[in-house]
Amino acid sequence: MARVFITGSADGLGQMAARLLVKAGHRVVLHARSAARADEALQAVPQAQAALSGDLSSIADTTALAQQVNRLGRFDAVIHNAAVGFREPRRIATVDGLPHVFAINTLAPYILTALIDRPERLVYLSSGLHRSGDASLHDLTWERRPWQGTTAYSDSKLHDALLAFAIARRWPRVLSNALEPGWVATKMGGAGAPDDLQAAPKTQVWLAVSDEPAAKVSGAYFYHMKPRDTHPAVHDVAVQERLIEACERLSGVRLPD
């Protein structure tokens, strides 16, 4: 059975994925932004091995979270599930002066990828909205353009797909993929979201642990366990590298070769 770490698993799709994994006999470690939320996560999924805490909007906290993960030993898979939504009405600055959406959705998965002992599989949750993302990567920190919450979210989900494909290319022994779960009725998606909520956590679980040949690929993008087209820039090595360079500069964390 696999050991799997899931970010943002106190509720929503992260918790749903955790439930599917533990039901199948896998060993799961949860994550929440605070100790209190981590306790709640463990109460919700008591079969999980542990629940770690760390505020992904903080570079220091995210770095410390990676250290916590490594102290538990190597994981077979990491699911980068944590994200904040597209309804933020203004640029909310983190303790590091970065936009809240960018810090959690883009920079945190980069830092965790760089610092967590390399697993066999990496899974990044993107979104269909990534196709509207800005592939120029200009003004990633939203200091010069007027704030637009939906655009910031779309950009960050493009970044997640770019990161997944960059890792697949740079680390050929790691299976690294991205997916979109659909617009579903979670806290983020809202009650009126039209897609199938029960199907939404299955692809990330499948990519993390399945031995099916279709799941044991790298540098692919999925929706409901089927390949799906992406923004063309996702395959552009130059764009991938510009994102990696920007994340390294903004976080002070280098992605290992």
Structural domains for the chain: 3-251 (3.40.50.720)
What sections of the chain are H helices per DSSP?
12-23, 35-44, 59-71, 100-102, 108-115, 149-170, 202-209, 237-251
Instruction: Give catalytic status of residue 157 as yes or no.
Output: yes
Whether residue 178 has pLDDT greater than 90: yes
Report residue 184's pLDDT band, with 50, 70 and 90 as the boundaries: low
pLDDT at 189: 62
Q: Which candidate in 157, 187, 202, 216 is catalytic?
A: 157
Q: Which candidate in 124, 153, 202, 216 is catalytic?
A: 153
pLDDT at 185: 45
65-116 tens-digit pLDDT: 999 999 999 999 999 999 998 778 999 999 999 999 999 999 999 999 999 9
87-100 tens-digit pLDDT: 789 999 999 999 99
pLDDT at 85: 85
Instruction: Give catalytic status of residue 110 as yes or no.
Output: no
**Of 137, 166, 86, which Cα lies nearest the Cα of 249?**
137
Instruction: Work out whether the CA dihedral 25, 71, 50, 181 comes out positive or negative.
Output: negative
